[in-house]
Chains A and B, each alone.
Chain A
């Protein structure tokens, strides 16, 4: 059985790994000149790697944990002890407060979380389009809902920060049904928001990009049953078209055409939509209102985690931006101190449009204002490339009004020989690395159960 996998991110390589283990004759086509997709490591000091893409995971991310231990990778806890810094009033001085709780009316935020919980609980997570009242929920943006349902000013002020941090979403463009679904899919607002005991509990020691590098390495080492030579993984090979007939599929990439009995398309929806399908898809993978998600990660490197000496956790929240939040991502060996700043949602779109020099200046000015007790960072690394050409959406695609009700029912339905993977096809832990891994296993299982019985003849 010949299988072509399109996309060498976590989803595509998980599927490829399962298929290769089952003896499929496999080719993985990747548009970029590297594997990993939305996971990407950068070396900020000799031997110290940080995650410019996906980073955090929690105990409920069971398939990701299984993969990590299979590949011999370790995790390291995200440190979150000490006081936080809050800059929530335009022009005012930032304040220090114990823990992570912002100086806003607690009851107002509690009502916000109560309402979000009600929405999430009501969602049919495995099929959001079948949620009672799905059509109404999917016709509203999160901003319209907030306008109507959040009487307290503090809740309205906090909501965009929360959605930005959690989903990199701008409330004005994301569908309310998608927000409700996302919360439920990830284990609830509480789990998604939490560090210890939640989705940000740990990071991959040395960087999450190692997952895809090791999977790719393993792919090269698996014996090929057919005995044919040739590389299984082809980089810089963007797929442009997939043509299918009764006999199979032909995948047209920049460097040539590949014939296959089955194809896994493991790319984000906006990029899947850019591939030409013949015959056409019954429903397009993305539409006018499908949001890109927008997140820029900024790494501020210090000689050591100096904020800890001041009793600070490194956590901060700012309404004015560009960094809406910061978190301590220092490597466990303490060789350097790293604060990761998040620029998300509407802020990120503005920020990404500025020159590199203007971005650096804005980040350094904000760091000095937020953390006057610290010296200026040794270096500032800004990764907005990830939002670029071959991701179109960070952390993940954001379904806009109408997307779930129109496209949801087709999310994982094979199109002839084409099967779908990618974190945006997983109704469990959608948008996260865990969702990507689960989607890869699912796509591989679909293909193996469909083709394996006939393929046993060899």
Chain B
């Protein structure tokens, strides 16, 4: 999953009203690759929705602690990539 795709998930979860009108796939203007989800106003409830979206979109189940350790789009995309790589195929 790309950094932009994670940014898009952050945006949909944090700004639900914007996601219903904005075109998908366009990164959110206020959300950079290194923006911290919790500093952007995300809380634990919204965090679970980031994780369910990640699971839905790339089949990887991360934990709440994964997001706490890597709370940015770049960080989370890295975690996702490492998790996929570590799964034996």
Q: Which positions in A face B, CB cutoff 8 Å?
A: 98-101, 105-107, 109-114, 117, 121, 188-190, 193-194, 196-198
A5 to chain B, nearest CB (A): 38
Contact, CB under 8 Å: A101 / B47: yes
Which residue of B43, B51, B64, B68 is within 8 Å of A190 (Cβ)?
A: B43
A-B residue pairs, 8 tightest by C-beta: A110-B52, A110-B48, A101-B44, A106-B64, A109-B48, A106-B51, A107-B55, A110-B49
A126 to B64, CA, bound (A): 36
Interface pair A194/B47, CB less than 8 Å apart: no
Q: Mark B7-43, 1 if CB is under 8 A from A, else 0.
A: 0000000001000000000000000000000000101
Q: Determine which of B46, B50, B52, B63 lies in contact with A111 in the assembled complex, contact meaning CB atoms within 8 Å.
A: B52
Q: Is the CB of A107 within 8 A of B68?
A: no
Q: Residues 46-66 of chain B: 1 if any A CB is under 8 Å from the residue's CB, otherwise 0?
A: 111111110100000111100
Inter-chain CA distance A117–B19, complex, in Å, is: 14
Q: Give complex CA distance A10, B49 in Å.
A: 36
- A193 in contact with B45 (CB, 8 Å): yes
5 contacts between A and B (CB under 8 A): A101-B48, A110-B50, A190-B46, A194-B43, A197-B41
Which residue on B lies nearest to A100, using beta carbons?
Answer: B44
Q: For the side of the interface on B, what is the size category?
A: 20 to 34
* Residue of A98, A109, A196, A197 with most partner-chain B CB within 10 A: A109
* Chain A contacts for B43, CB-based, 8 A: 100, 190, 194, 196-198
The reply to whether B16 and A106 contact each other, CB–CB distance below 8 Å, is no
State in angstroms the CA–CA spacing of A190 and B50 once bound together: 13
Cβ-neighbour of A101 out of B49, B52, B61, B64 (below 8 A): B64
Closest residue of chain B to A191 (Cβ to Cβ) is B45
Q: What's the least CB distance linking A153 to chain B, in Å? A: 14
Contact B62 A106 (CB under 8 A): yes
Most interface-central of A107, A114, A188 (chain B CB within 10 A): A107
In the assembled complex, the Cα of A190 lies from the Cα of B68 at a distance in Å of 18
B16 touches A117 (CB 8 A): yes
- Write the chain B residue with the least CB distance to A193: B45
Contact across chains for B41 and A114 when beta carbons are under 8 A apart? no
A99 to chain B, nearest CB (A): 6
Q: Is B44's CB under 8 angstroms from A110's CB?
A: no
Are A113 and B48 also in contact (CB < 8 A) when A101-B64, A106-B63, A107-B55 are? yes
Interface residues of B (CB under 8 A from A): 16, 41, 43-53, 55, 61-64, 67-68
Contacts of A101 in B (CB 8 A): 44, 47-48, 64
Residues of B within 8 A of A197 (CB): 41, 43
Q: Which residues of A contact B47 (CB under 8 A)?
A: 101, 106, 110
A114/B52 contact (C-beta < 8 A), A106-B63, A106-B64, A107-B61 known: yes
Given known A98-B68, A101-B64, A117-B16, contact A107–B44 (CB-CB < 8 A): no
- 8 A-B pairs besides A98-B68, A106-B51 with CB distance below 8 A are A100-B43, A105-B63, A106-B47, A107-B61, A110-B48, A110-B55, A117-B49, A190-B43
- Give the Cβ gap from B77 to chain A, nearest Cβ, in Å: 17
**Distance between A204 CB and nearest chain B CB, rounded to angstroms:** 23
Query: Which chain A positions have C-beta within 8 A of B55?
Result: 107, 110
Please, which residues of chain A bring their CB within 8 A of the CB of B46?
190
Q: Within 8 Å CB of A188, what residues of B?
A: 16
Bound CA–CA A113/B68 (angstroms): 19
Nearest-neighbour CB distance to chain A for B26, whole angstroms, equals 21
Cross-chain contact B48 with A107 (CB below 8 angstroms): yes
Which residues of A sit under 8 angstroms from B61, Cβ to Cβ? 105, 107
> Chain B nearest CB: distance from A163 CB in Å?
14
Q: Report the separation of the CA atoms of residues A98 and B68 in the bound assembly, to the nearest whole angstrom.
A: 10
Give which listed residue, A99, A100, A114, contacts B49 with CB less than 8 A.
A114
Residues of A within 8 A of B51 (CB): 106-107, 110
Of B16, B49, B67, chain A has the most CB atoms within 10 Å of the CB of B49
Q: Would you call B44 and A113 a contact (CB within 8 A)?
A: no
Closest A residue by C-beta to B14: A190
Contact status of A194 and B45, CB under 8 A, knowing A107-B55, A111-B52, A114-B52: yes
Residues of B within 8 A of A110 (CB): 47-53, 55
Minimum C-beta distance from A419 to chain B (A)? 34
Cα(A188)–Cα(B61), bound, Å: 25
B30 CB to nearest chain A CB (Å): 16
Give the one of B51, B52, B53, B67 with max A CB within 10 A: B52
Q: Is the CB of B64 within 8 A of A113?
A: no
Least CB distance from A101 to B in Å reads: 4
Give Cα A113 to B64, complex, Å: 15
Closest to A189 in B: B45
- With a cutoff of 8 Å between Cβ atoms, the chain B residues found around residue A117 in the complex are 16, 49
Q: Which of A189, A190, A197 has the most CB of B within 10 A?
A: A190
| Contact, CB under 8 Å: B52 / A107 | yes
> Which residues in B have their C-beta under 8 angstroms from that of A194?
43, 45
- How far, in whole Å, are A99 and B67 apart by their CA atoms in the complex? 13
